[in-house]
Structure 1
Amino acid sequence: MSPPHVLILTRDNDPHAEHVGKLLAGRGARTTVFDNRDYPARACAELAYTSRGLSRRLLHTGSGTLDLDALTALWWRRPLPPEAHPEITDPSVAAYTAQESATLITDLWEHLPCRTVPARESVFRRAAHKPSQLVLAAELGFEIPETLITTRADDLWDFYNRHDGQVVTKLVGGTPWVEDLAAGHTVVRKCELVSARDLAYADALRFCPVIAQRYVPKRLELRVTVVGRRVFAAEIHSQESNRSKVDWRWYDTRVTPYGVHRLPDEVAGRCLAMTERLGLSYGAVDLVLTPDGRYVFLEINPNGQWLWVEELTGLPISEAVCDLLLEGV
């Protein structure tokens, strides 16, 4: 019997993929790492059909040929989009061929007859939509922050005044950064408190929607990682540091304690239900525990990082990911 074979879709220098790959190898599984960026310049996807349907799906790379129908699991980590062949110098032709390549390679991963973690790409990209997450979270019994999504300055002014200025804003999309190509650097935009100065520029909302939420007072912040049917909750004492008070992602690990958190069963159950309803086998849920003991849902990341949680708390999340990738094999 052939050993399990897991295809990991990710970019270079991915510590999560490297770590889990070693654990899988230790369990006797075979792994192949591939980045969509290598297609079509350094890899070839071959799909063949007879009059009765599909006959083979192969991926040819510099290290050999991979029979995609023989895979036991596909792990969609963080691959980059396909790039045009470097021999193409016309920008419009390059953009066109890159888009055609993306169409093919995206569809290819959608239909493989193996387990896909966290889900098929079309599923987890849809699951990342924050407005829909809030609706579902409330349906499942979570408390959510009072929220406004708008492109009108007057709406934001009213919301700000109604909540005595205790309002934060965040991006609607799941990617919290943009590349400033002209300046050659990356601009990071996380959850921010709205200041009076910000409101002076509120008319700029007409160009792009924003999520505004009533600021939720915090005793602790929680990162709850769901892997299959297992729930790993880590508590983040973000209020111990001025840097991380509003958004714990402004890490200050020298000052901010981290630890394992015992979630109430009903809250853990809602986190499980959230991932299941979204069609995910993995999800990273962000919650707030308020000073008066309420658990408030903020959002779920269908492909969130966890290695930092494991390193700071000892929670065996990577082993759980391996279990998920090898389940049923």
Structure 2
Amino acid sequence: MSPPHVLVLTRDNDPHADRVRHLLAGRGARTTVFDNRDYLTRAHVELAYTARGLARRLLHTESGTLDLDSLTALWWRRPMPPEAHPAITDPSVAAYTAQESVNLITDLWEHLPCRALPARESVVRRAAHKPSQLMLAAELGFEIPETLIATQADALWDFHNRHDGHIIAKPMGTPWVESLAGGHTVIRKCDFVSARDLAYAEALRFCPVIVQQYVPKRLELRVTVVGRRVFAAEIHSQSSNRSQVDWRRYDFGVTPYGVHRLPDEVARRCLAMTDRLGLAFGAFDLVLTPDGRYVFLEINPNGQWLWIEELTGLPISEAVCDLLLEGA
């Protein structure tokens, strides 16, 4: 019998994929790594159909040819989108060929007859929508922050006044802004809405924004669901001024991390939410308030975990490996 074969879709320099690939190799599984960006430049896809249907699906790369129907699992990690071939110099033609490549590659990975982690790409993208997440979380019994999503200055002012100014803003989806002119990237995190921000409230009409009531924190939690396993880590973000509003402003020398004993009811809600979203993996951000309430902030359907594993010892990579090999 052939060994399990996992296709990992990710970009260069992905330590999460490297860790799991090492574990898979230790269990005798084969792995192939591919980045969608290399399609047309360093790789080619061959799809053939007879009068009765599909005949073959092949991926030709510099290292050889892969029969895509022989795969036992597909891990949609963090691939880049396909790019136009560098020989194409006309920008409009380059954009057209890149989009046609996206159309093919996206559909190709959607229909392979093997396990997909965290899910098919279309499911992952749909699960990342924050407005739908909030509605589903509340339906499942999570407490959520009072939230406003709007493009009107008056609505923002009213929300700010009702909460005595204790509100934060967060991106709707994309957490960075790339400046084409300046050649630099600005990362957006959660921040308090200041009086200076309110002076520019009319600019909301150009782009939607999420604002939420600030939730007081005893701890912040990163809860990683892998299949039916739940790994909860506590982040003592209030120990550092830098990480108090958003723990992603890391201050490892001051901010303790540890394993958290998540109440069974909260763990069940996390599992129910990944089930409803169609995910086999999800990284939840929760807040434990000073008075002991667990508040849902969001779920990242393809979130990072390696730093949590290294700081707490939680065997998340092993669980991902287990899931990729399950049923193979």
Q: How does 1:16-165 map onto structure 2 within 5 Å?
A: 16-165=16-165
Alpha-carbon separation, structure 1, partners of 2:7 and 2:180:
32
Q: How does 1:177-188 map onto structure 2 within 5 Å?
A: 177-188=176-187
Letter in 1 for 2:272: A
Structure 2 unaligned regions, length at least 5 = none
Alpha-carbon separation, structure 1, partners of 2:29 and 2:181:
44
Alpha-carbon separation, structure 2, partners of 1:309 and 1:41:
36
TM-score of the aligned structures, taking structure 1 as reference length = 0.99
Structure 1 unaligned regions, length at least 5 = none
3-state SS of 2:55 partner: strand
C-alpha deviation, 1:180, in angstroms: 1.3
3-state SS of 1:132 partner: helix
Q: State the Cα deviation string for residues 158-216 of structure 1 (Å, max 9, x = none).
A: 0000000000011111x211211211111010111001110000000000000010000
3-state SS of 1:7 partner: strand
Query: Partner of 1:195 in structure 2?
Result: 194
Q: How does 1:228-239 map onto structure 2 within 5 Å?
A: 228-239=227-238
Letter in 2 for 1:310: E
C-alpha deviation, 1:321, in angstroms: 0.1
Letter in 2 for 1:267: V
Alpha-carbon separation, structure 2, partners of 1:177 and 1:310:
25
3-state SS of 1:23 partner: helix
Q: How does 1:312-327 map onto structure 2 within 5 Å?
A: 312-327=311-326
3-state SS of 2:224 partner: strand
Alpha-carbon separation, structure 1, partners of 2:259 and 2:119:
27
Query: Partner of 2:218 in structure 1?
Result: 219
Alpha-carbon separation, structure 1, partners of 2:292 and 2:326:
36
3-state SS of 1:154 partner: helix
Letter in 2 for 1:225: T
Alpha-carbon separation, structure 1, partners of 2:207 and 2:184:
22
TM-score of the aligned structures, taking structure 2 as reference length = 1.00
Alpha-carbon separation, structure 2, partners of 1:257 and 1:238:
8
Q: Is residue 250 of structure 1 aligned with residue 249 of structure 2?
A: yes
Aligned residues: 328
C-alpha deviation, 1:107, in angstroms: 0.3
Alpha-carbon separation, structure 2, partners of 1:80 and 1:211:
26
C-alpha deviation, 1:41, in angstroms: 1.4
C-alpha deviation, 1:243, in angstroms: 0.3
Alpha-carbon separation, structure 1, partners of 2:175 and 2:222:
17
Letter in 1 for 2:200: Y
Which 4+ residue blocks in structure 1 deviate beyond 6 angstroms? none
3-state SS of 2:246 partner: coil
Letter in 2 for 1:18: D
Alpha-carbon separation, structure 2, partners of 1:180 and 1:148:
28
Letter in 1 for 2:116: T
The alignment yields a C-alpha RMSD, in angstroms, of 0.5
Query: Partner of 2:295 in structure 1?
Result: 296
Letter in 1 for 2:118: P
Q: State the Cα deviation string for residues 247-288 of structure 1 (Å, max 9, x = none).
A: 000000000000000000000000000100000000000000
Alpha-carbon separation, structure 2, partners of 1:205 and 1:274:
31
Alpha-carbon separation, structure 2, partners of 1:177 and 1:305:
17
Percent of aligned pairs with the same amino acid: 84
Alpha-carbon separation, structure 1, partners of 2:124 and 2:106:
13
Q: State the Cα deviation string for residues 42-68 of structure 1 (Å, max 9, x = none).
A: 111000000000010000001000000
Alpha-carbon separation, structure 2, partners of 1:79 and 1:197:
38
